[in-house]
Structure 1
Amino acid sequence: MSQRKRCVVVMYDTLCRHFLPGYGNEWVNAPNFERLAKRSVQFDNFYVGSMPCMPARREMHTGRYNFLHRSWGPLEPFDDSMPAILHSNAIHSHKVTDHQHYWEDGGATYHQRYTTFDLVRGQEGDKWIGDVEKLRDESYGAERWPENQQTAFQRQDNINREDMDRA
């Protein structure tokens, strides 16, 4: 009986590898990242050709440069993506993300290639918790964002965080 192979892909937006112990940092205390590094394959010569997030994700899904023919957008029906390739080899894939752009117009279809998926709600202006009065009040949450002009995006973040704090 052959042992089932497992593959866990971990990707963090805006996390610089120079802050991770697994890549040589000695002053950051990150025991979970250290434990993960000891049990993982680490890439030290890996670059994306497109930025920001969605074009880079398309490159990681398909293994080909995105910027050569289009900008921010979904996976296309003709794209051979990593989770679809895993599925065709009878390998279960599961996505856990807080990146709600996968559910927006122009960004959809990335999560649909996985066997199953979870969305952790409430990040980056996610229109999760509805509070009409607070969203209309331009002064709401200003004490948390004193250096910025208050925007609906930031008000939504404050509303989401208040709800999370109550949980």
Structure 2
Amino acid sequence: MFDPTVFENLKVAFENQLYDLDTLDETIQITGRKDTMEMSVMGRAFSLAFHLTGQEAVTAELRLEASLKELAAELLELPGEMPSCELSLLFHMRVKDFEQQCPQIEAVFQRIWPENPVPVQTLSFVFSEGQTEHLSEIKLPFKRKINEEQMEDIPSLLEHVLLTLRALGEVSAASMEGK
């Protein structure tokens, strides 16, 4: 009989919660889904991208990854190894005034995610005449890996993601008003 891995169980748990927020609650709209096997390193990766319904300016992406080492430790039941996955959250938004907005973005994360390290903000832009906006990718690193023991934390984690999307949406809207 097939015994699903920690990665599979967490993936399904996140999918269930996020698709309920999309189809039943209509709180979010899912805009992308990837479920891949990275053949060069034999790892698994899963991601779901979404934004709040009616607020497309800021998107979130939940990523779950398991390396070959983590999958092998679980499948081979290696002693002393705890099966786990890496979870990361990414947020994407346009930034008009990065000198003003990037500190505001950091403040949002410090308020909503006080137990986590400062997010990593990466700015980029497409070179074209008159380009004034930057694309911002904000990655929230987590201090530890997760496993099935953290499944009960998923609703709380997703509530924090929704709060973050709302707060980042306010930062984005404030910059648009100041055009």
Higher relative contact order (CA 8 A, sep 6+): 2
TM-score, normalised relative to structure 1: 0.26
TM-score, normalised relative to structure 2: 0.25
Higher percent of residues as strand: 2
Structure whose alpha-carbon radius of gyration is higher: 1
